Amino acid sequence: MKKLFLFVLCASLFVACKKEATPKPMSASETTSETIPPPTEFADSKYSDIGKKMLEDLSKNNMDAWTDSFAEDAKYYWNSGDSLIGKPAIDKYWRDRRGNVIETITFEKEIWLPLKVNEKGNIPMDGIWLLSWYKTTAKYKGGKSMTQWIHSTYHFNSDGKIDMVNQYLDRVPIIAAMPPKK
């Protein structure tokens, strides 16, 4: 009897060990972790191309092409607190500035970083952002010029148009280079 009992016990253990393990069901957090996008990721380089083209158009005083990148409800902010609201206001300001104040403007040593923000976090909007840094040299009518690094951020709406610009610059060299007001 002991041999039979021992045989059944060993056979049972052998069969139990040979059974394939059934997969453990995944929890909800484990199943969704693979589908949740990261908070930020690189965006398509086409956004960098848009930024580069805009600087080229502004440099060439091609204001129609430059303003074409903006949405109708675009907002343009400077770190000084000044702002322009709406594509017509942005167009009017920069067309006047480029035609009557700035004789030439060039950009060099550009750095472009297109990002897709999937979570708002501490920024105003999710979606596509283009971060840029570039060395700007502007010669003003009247002969003076200024050179400085400028940092700009561009947000793109779902139609691929810029709906917000934040530009960080130093106004002191700009004011010093501008012609005196008449």
pLDDT, tens only, 45-96: 999 999 999 999 999 999 999 999 999 999 999 999 999 999 999 999 999 9
User: Is a pLDDT exceeding 50 seen at residue 16?
Assistant: no
pLDDT in the model for residue 143:
86
Is pLDDT larger for residue 163 or for residue 24?
163
CATH class of 42-177: alpha beta
Residue 181 backbone phi and psi in degrees, to 5: -70, 140
Q: Mean pLDDT for the chain?
A: 86
- Mean of pLDDT values over 120-141: 90
- Mean of pLDDT values over 133-138: 98
Secondary structure of residue 141 in the 3-state scheme: coil
pLDDT in the model for residue 13:
37
Write down the pTM of the prediction. Answer: 0.78
* Amino acid of residue 63: M
- pLDDT band for 130, please (50, 70, 90 cuts): very high
Q: What is the DSSP secondary-structure string of 29-64?
A: HHHHTTTSPPSEEE--THHHHHHHHHHHHHHTT-HH
Is pLDDT larger for residue 123 or for residue 115?
115
How far is it, in rounded angstroms, from Cα 133 to Cα 155?
Answer: 15
Residue located via tokens 């805009």: 54
Q: Spell out the domain ranges in the chain.
A: 42-177
